[in-house]
């Protein structure tokens, strides 16, 4: 059609689409006018009025026929045809509600699972971070054995900043500046982040209100200013637009509010931040020889500079900075540059891909099932299709009709799937709130719904194409059932594929479940039952001096001891598992008569300050020697208790009891200590990590170290809620605004298994769905096979075949492609298991027992699914069967 | 919209366009005019006239509007569009070529 035609025809087409009724009325009026004129003309010629009124419509060849011809001339529009197809398709579906329901539910399962998982992994894998050009943002620094995340020493950072090389700009924040308090009326504890002045501009973020930090704000002695998070602005300042310029008191000092951050702002570390404050680094006081301060550094790469190039460009600086690293550590440090996304998702990435892959596998299984259902149905509709083809429907027209039907099914399934996804997502979050990075943020937003729509359409095409390509055989016009031999192969291949997919899912789920089971049965080295813990943090502004801190803990200990019947109470400055604990290098532990290692750190050794009842409260066994006693807390005593692992490492083949050791920390040389006992190993670094060697020193309650964070542990047979209430009232008795966090030890340990549990539960769910779908698929295909061959079976039985023989024949048919599917599945599982390796704990990826179990389960399910129709086949009555057609 | 293109059918479009090129007319008037101008040689049945008109309108060659006739009745009047005029020229040329060719064939003498 030439473009000019549109000018004339488009309004008409639109009218014929939307103004159908009006068009009909006009046609009616046009023809009525014609008839009146014609009648008048005949009468004028001298015809009788009665005859004239009869003759006029006859000339037209019938009024209705003419109308129809006119409408035909307008042509059915594309949309008309779609509408017609849709109505037809919905009639066809409504005619077979059973088929429609099963197909829809199957699809809903596939689409729902995929959508729910997508909503979870989208934020880990695909969705851009909330910064402009986030692909150019990197985290960089030095990687060292004692810290899992790369960091920068402040003096090195300043040196590097003078020549930023591959970076357009670089910025930093001071870690650990977390707790801060607004100390006016309604005091509240907040999370404050200390950042460099160009922090926001490097990330590409602008305050929605007020201004960004300037270099002036970042000077060491500058007047203190703050940027509020959107949440804090709303909750504490009620979204007041005139908040800038207001002074608040933070940790007892006045701070001026200069702006408000956007609602979408998040820290690149994903940490909480209610307020941003300048870190006010005193650059003049920095010394490369004595680095005290650690920074987290971020940068924006220059356009077209890759991460590898950036890392290479940092080498000259790094080699230079190595001069300041003690020689024995040099081999263990390296430069690390990685994308911000990598830093944020870390080890969630593999899990996310595995789950996403599994969900897509489930979707494919669902599509295969529906394709099979449609194929079976296509056979029963052969006659209808043949009639339509004979009446002039073109191949393309039939294809479109078939695709419309499958897309309608997909749309219904997709709608149900979205609902299912919503529920599944709730389940995911409740199963394991910490199971995946950003899981809490996951929701069914526009993007996820768009994904759901796309998935529905794609799956509609996927399962719709094969049946749609069916070419109606002319013989079926005669009413004969034509054997679908060619597509029988397709059906069997599809089911075999399903079986293969299920095997892969089953093995994957089995591996994860087994790994989870192993993790959960790891001996922690401590008892979690009836143990309640309380975490206390002393705000630096309220307890600035050591004597005040000591006084607080003295008072606390005394009060807790007075609570009757509370059981065992212990104090410590850190608590397993996975909490941060103080640590030193193995190499820095000195033992008389043992040479210091020439190079290397020897790994990390953790240590805790504990009161004597600590071991009893947590049920940590003292293997040899004794635990601490009250006398050990006197200033003159310096006992130490080492873990079995440390003992073996320090004194191989010797009795460590009575031996001495001393260790140096960053700033002090400790006293010589005598080993009085050996404690059982405790899993400190989480369940999957090896137990780190550690030692214990007594909590003396004198001026040994600043104890900002303390833990109280109770072993009590009382109800935890009662214990919490008592302890809380005691602590508020000392300090009414002291923040305390209570947790049971069970909950603390439970957190460690959340991620593996999340992966395992989801994958098991998918494997379960996969097996059910495969069973349905096999059942469907075998039933069809039997119904197609009823006549043949009848003949066979009439010729003397036994029911057992018939069953065997059917089952043999099933066995062929089931075994094929299982074989392919085992091969696939072998390959896929490798991808899972990094998620596994003490389980080999290629576990023959698990592969065998998956094989047995699948074969059993296949046999059961085939058995029902096979039995039906065996019961065929030859007489009925022979009269079948 | 595939219809057997016999001679009358093929020429009917051209005739209609030609008649409407002279002046806008309503359906009945067109049928009268067809009879008049061809001296009743071309008998176009009313039954095929209207579908043909609707087809031309759908192609964008003619357009329709409702007007009042001299005896004060609303009737649908068709008129030629610029596109229709071009189409008419094209078909007229084709027709002349065809007519000339046929008359040449007819004039051949049997030798």
pLDDT per residue as tens digits for the range A596-648: 665 666 777 888 888 888 888 888 888 888 888 888 888 788 888 998 888 88
Contact B46 A8 (CB under 8 A): no
pLDDT (mean) for B93-110: 84
| C-alpha distance across the termini of chain B, in Å | 44
Query: How many whole angstroms from its chain centre is CA A824?
Result: 29
What are B's interface residues with A at a Cβ cutoff of 8 A? Answer: 1, 26-28, 31-32, 45-48, 50-52, 54-55, 57-60, 63, 66, 73-76, 81, 83
Contact A29 B59 (CB under 8 A): no
CA distance A769 to A498: 11
* Domains of chain B in sequence order: 7-102 (1.10.10.10)
Q: Which residues of A touch B75 (CB under 8 A)?
A: 30, 33
Work out the number of other CB atoms within 10 angstroms of the CB of residue A486: 9
Contact A59 B58 (CB under 8 A): no
pLDDT in tens, A415-444: 999 999 999 888 888 877 776 777 777 788
pLDDT for residue A879 is more than 80: no
Interface contacts A/B by beta carbons within 8 Å: 77
Mutation pick from A11, A70, A73, A78 vs chain B, by most beta carbons of B within 10 Å, is A73
pLDDT (mean) for A140-167: 83
In sequence order, which residues have a C-beta less than 8 Å from that of residue A406 and are 6 or more positions away?
A370, A374, A460, A461, A463, A464, A467, A468
| Beta-strand pair A179-182/A531-537 | unpaired
Q: Which parts of chain B are beta strand (E)?
A: 25-26, 62-68, 74-80
Contact B46 A59 (CB under 8 A): yes
Query: Does residue A5 belong to the interface with chain B, where contact is any CB pair within 8 Å?
Result: yes
- For chain A, what's the residue count? 885
| pLDDT grade for A34, boundaries at 50, 70 and 90 | confident
Q: Which residues of A touch B83 (CB under 8 A)?
A: 4-5, 8
* CB-based contacts of A312-319 (< 8 A; 24+ apart in sequence): A313/A165, A313/A166, A314/A140, A314/A160, A314/A165, A314/A166, A317/A156, A317/A159, A317/A160, A317/A163, A317/A165, A318/A142
CA distance A288 to A157: 10
| pLDDT grade for A79, boundaries at 50, 70 and 90 | low
pLDDT for residue A869 is more than 50: yes
Please give the mean pLDDT across all residues of chain A: 81
Mutation pick from A4, A8, A60, A77 vs chain B, by most beta carbons of B within 10 Å, is A8
pLDDT for residue B73 is more than 90: no
Give the gap in angstroms from C-alpha A71 to the nearest C-alpha of chain B: 8
Q: What is the pLDDT of residue A400?
A: 82
Q: Which residues of B touch A36 (CB under 8 A)?
A: 73
The residue that leads in pLDDT, A525 or B82, is: B82
CA distance B63 to B56: 8
Range in A240-249, A283-292, A481-490, A672-681 with the lowest mean pLDDT = A481-490
Residue whose tokens read 């490369």: A288
Contact B58 A12 (CB under 8 A): yes
pLDDT for residue A789 is more than 80: no
Find the farthest-apart pair of alpha carbons in chain B and give their distance in angstroms, rounded.
Answer: 63
- Tell me the CA distances in angstroms from A411 to A189, A415, A665, one per residue in order: 50, 6, 65
pLDDT for residue A17 is more than 70: no
| pLDDT grade for A884, boundaries at 50, 70 and 90 | low
Alpha carbons within 13 A on the beta-carbon side of A60: 28
- Helices A348-380 and A754-788 pack at an angle, to 10 degrees, of 10
Q: Which residues of B touch A75 (CB under 8 A)?
A: 1, 58
| pLDDT grade for A171, boundaries at 50, 70 and 90 | very high
Q: Which of residues 41-70 of A touch B (CB under 8 A)?
A: 41, 59-62, 65-66, 69-70
pLDDT (mean) for A14-29: 75
- CA neighbor of A616 nearest in space, from A681, A574, A568: A568
φ and ψ of A722, to 5 deg: -65, -45
Closest residue to B50, CB basis, from A36, A37, A70: A70
φ and ψ of A252, to 5 deg: 80, 0
Range in A43-47, A259-263, A516-520 with the lowest mean pLDDT = A516-520
Range in A198-212, A300-314, B96-110 with the lowest mean pLDDT = B96-110
- CA neighbor of A842 nearest in space, from A514, A525, A577: A514
Closest residue to B27, CB basis, from A5, A30, A41: A30
Collapsed DSSP state (helix, strand, coil) of residue A594: coil
pLDDT for residue A811 is more than 80: yes
Q: Which parts of A261-383 are beta strand (E)?
A: 275-278, 294-301, 334-339
- CA neighbor of A763 nearest in space, from A388, A350, A341, A332: A350
> In chain A, whose CA is at the least distance from the CA of B50?
A70
Q: What is the pLDDT of residue B66?
A: 87
Give the gap in angstroms from C-alpha A88 to the nearest C-alpha of chain B: 23
φ and ψ of A656, to 5 deg: -75, -20
pLDDT (mean) for A532-561: 81
pLDDT for residue A522 is more than 60: yes
In sequence order, which residues have a C-beta less than 8 Å from that of residue B44 and are 6 or more positions away?
B8, B12, B15, B31, B34
Collapsed DSSP state (helix, strand, coil) of residue A747: helix
The DSSP bridge partners found for residue A669 are A664
Q: What is the pLDDT of residue A154?
A: 84
CB B69 within 8 A of CB B26: yes
pLDDT in tens, A701-752: 665 555 667 888 888 888 888 888 888 888 888 887 777 888 888 888 887 7
Query: How many whole angstroms from its chain centre is CA A443?
Result: 11
CB A339 within 8 A of CB A137: yes
Q: What is the pLDDT of residue A19?
A: 67
Give the gap in angstroms from C-alpha B104 to the nearest C-alpha of chain A: 35
Closest residue to A12, CB basis, from B26, B47, B57: B57
| Beta-strand pair A275-278/A188-195 | parallel
Q: What is the pLDDT of residue A822?
A: 87
Phi-psi region of A242 (alpha: psi -120 to 50; beta: other; left: phi over 0): alpha
pLDDT in tens, A379-405: 777 777 778 777 767 777 778 888 888
| Residue A577: cis peptide before it, omega within 30 degrees of 0 | yes
Q: What is the pLDDT of residue A707?
A: 65
Range in A265-274, A686-695, A797-806 with the lowest mean pLDDT = A686-695
φ and ψ of A801, to 5 deg: -70, 145
pLDDT in tens, A488-501: 677 788 888 888 88
Contact A8 B50 (CB under 8 A): no
pLDDT for residue A125 is more than 90: no
The structure's pTM equals 0.72
Q: What is the pLDDT of residue A487?
A: 56
Q: Which residues of A touch B32 (CB under 8 A)?
A: 41
pLDDT for residue B1 is more than 50: no
Edge-first strand order for the sheet with B74-80 is B25-26, B74-80, B62-68
Q: Which helix (H) or strand (E) holds A266?
A: none
pLDDT for residue B2 is more than 60: no
pLDDT (mean) for A101-125: 87
- CA neighbor of A695 nearest in space, from A616, A586, A617: A586
């Amino acid at each position: 059609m030439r473009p000019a035609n549109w000018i004339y025809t488009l309004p008409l087409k639109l009218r014929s689409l939307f103004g159908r009724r009006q068009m009909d009325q006009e046609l009616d009026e046009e023809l009525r006018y014609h008839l009146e004129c014609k009648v008048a003309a005949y009468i004028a010629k001298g015809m009788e009025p009665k005859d004239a009124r009869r003759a006029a419509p006859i000339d037209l060849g019938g009024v209705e026929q003419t109308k129809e011809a006119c409408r035909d001339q307008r042509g059915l529009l594309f949309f008309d045809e779609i509408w017609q197809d849709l109505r037809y398709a919905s009639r066809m579906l409504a005619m077979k509600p059973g088929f429609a329901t099963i197909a829809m539910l199957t699809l809903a399962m596939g689409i729902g699972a995929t959508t729910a998982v997508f909503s979870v992994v989208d934020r880990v894998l695909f969705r851009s971070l909330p910064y402009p050009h986030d692909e150019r943002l990197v985290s960089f620094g030095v990687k060292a054995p004692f810290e899992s995340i790369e960091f920068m020493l402040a003096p090195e950072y300043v040196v590097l900043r003078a020549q930023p090389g591959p970076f357009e700009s670089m910025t930093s924040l001071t870690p650990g500046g977390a707790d801060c308090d607004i100390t006016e009326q309604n005091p509240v504890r907040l999370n404050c982040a200390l950042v460099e002045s160009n922090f926001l501009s490097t990330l590409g973020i602008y305050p929605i209100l007020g201004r960004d930090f300037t270099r002036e704000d970042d000077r060491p002695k500058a007047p203190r200013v703050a940027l509020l998070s959107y949440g804090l602005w709303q909750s504490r300042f009620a979204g007041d637009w005139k908040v800038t310029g207001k002074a608040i008191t933070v940790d007892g000092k006045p701070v001026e509010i200069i702006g408000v951050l956007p609602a979408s702002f998040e820290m690149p570390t994903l940490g909480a931040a209610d307020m941003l404050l300048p870190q006010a680094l005193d650059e003049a006081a920095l010394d490369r020889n004595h680095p005290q301060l650690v920074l987290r550094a971020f940068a924006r790469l220059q356009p077209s500079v890759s991460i590898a190039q950036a890392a290479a460009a940092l080498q000259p600086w790094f080699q230079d900075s190595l001069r300041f690293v003690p020689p024995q550590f040099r081999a263990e440090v390296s430069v690390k540059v990685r994308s911000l996304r990598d830093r944020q998702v870390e080890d969630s990435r593999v899990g996310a891909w595995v789950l996403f892959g599994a969900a897509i596998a489930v979707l494919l299984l669902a599509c295969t099932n529906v394709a099979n259902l449609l194929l079976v149905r296509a056979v029963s509709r052969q006659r209808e299709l043949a009639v339509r083809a004979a009446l002039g429907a073109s191949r393309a027209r039939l294809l479109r009709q078939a695709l419309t039907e499958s897309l309608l099914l997909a749309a219904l399934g997709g709608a149900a799937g979205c609902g299912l996804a919503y529920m599944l997502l709730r389940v995911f979050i409740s199963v394991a709130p910490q199971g995946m990075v950003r899981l809490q943020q996951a929701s069914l937003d526009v993007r996820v719904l768009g994904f759901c729509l796309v998935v529905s359409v794609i799956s509609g095409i996927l399962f719709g194409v094969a049946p749609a390509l069916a070419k109606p055989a002319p013989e079926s016009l005669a009413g004969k059932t034509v054997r679908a031999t060619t597509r029988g192969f397709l059906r069997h291949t599809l089911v075999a594929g399903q079986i293969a997919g299920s095997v892969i899912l089953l093995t994957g789920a089995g591996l994860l479940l087994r790994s989870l089971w192993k993790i959960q049965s790891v001996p922690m080295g401590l008892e979690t039952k009836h143990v309640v813990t309380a975490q206390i943090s002393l705000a630096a502004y309220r307890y600035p001096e050591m004597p005040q801190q000591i006084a607080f803990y003295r008072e606390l200990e005394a009060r807790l001891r007075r609570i009757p019947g509370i059981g065992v109470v212990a104090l410590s400055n850190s608590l397993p598992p996975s909490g941060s604990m103080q640590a030193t290098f193995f190499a820095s532990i000195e033992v008389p008569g043992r040479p210091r290692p020439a190079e290397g750190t020897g790994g990390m050794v953790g240590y805790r300050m504990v009161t004597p009842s600590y071991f009893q409260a947590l049920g940590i066994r003292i293997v040899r020697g004794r635990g601490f006693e009250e006398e050990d807390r006197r200033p003159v005593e310096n006992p130490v208790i080492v873990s079995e692992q440390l003992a073996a490492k320090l004194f191989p083949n010797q009795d460590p009891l009575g031996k001495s050791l001393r260790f140096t920390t960053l700033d002090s040389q400790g006293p010589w200590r005598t080993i009085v006992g050996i404690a059982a190993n405790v899993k400190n670094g989480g369940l999957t990590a090896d137990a780190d060697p550690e030692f214990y020193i007594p909590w003396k309650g004198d001026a040994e170290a600043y104890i900002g964070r303390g833990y109280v542990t109770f072993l009590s047979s009382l109800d935890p809620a009662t214990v919490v209430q008592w302890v809380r009232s005691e602590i508020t008795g000392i300090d009414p605004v002291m923040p305390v966090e209570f947790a049971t030890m069970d909950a603390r340990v439970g957190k460690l298994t959340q991620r593996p549990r999340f992966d395992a539960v989801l994958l098991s769910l998918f494997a379960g769905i996969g097996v059910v779908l495969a069973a349905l698929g096999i059942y469907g295909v075998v039933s069809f096979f039997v119904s197609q061959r009823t006549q043949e079976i009848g003949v066979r039985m009439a010729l003397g075949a036994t029911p057992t023989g018939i069953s065997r024949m059917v089952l043999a048919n099933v066995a062929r492609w089931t075994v094929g599917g299982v074989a392919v599945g085992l091969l696939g599982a072998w390959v896929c298991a490798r991808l899972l390796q990094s998620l596994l704990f003490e389980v080999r990826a290629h576990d023959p027992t698990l592969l065998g179990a998956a094989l047995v389960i699948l074969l059993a399910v296949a046999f059961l699914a085939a058995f029902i129709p096979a039995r039906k086949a065996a019961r065929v009555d030859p007489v009925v069967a022979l009269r079948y057609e | 919209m595939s219809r057997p293109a016999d001679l009358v059918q093929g020429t009917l479009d051209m005739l209609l366009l030609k008649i409407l090129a002279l002046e806008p007319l309503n359906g009945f008037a067109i049928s009268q005019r067809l009879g008049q101008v061809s001296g009743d040689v071309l008998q176009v049945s009313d039954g095929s006239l209207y579908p043909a008109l609707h087809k031309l309108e759908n192609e964008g060659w003619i357009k329709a509007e409702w007007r009042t006739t001299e005896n004060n009745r609303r009737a649908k009047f068709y008129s030629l569009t610029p596109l229709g005029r071009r189409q008419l020229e094209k078909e007229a040329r084709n027709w002349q070529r065809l007519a000339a060719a046929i008359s040449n064939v007819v004039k051949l003498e049997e030798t």
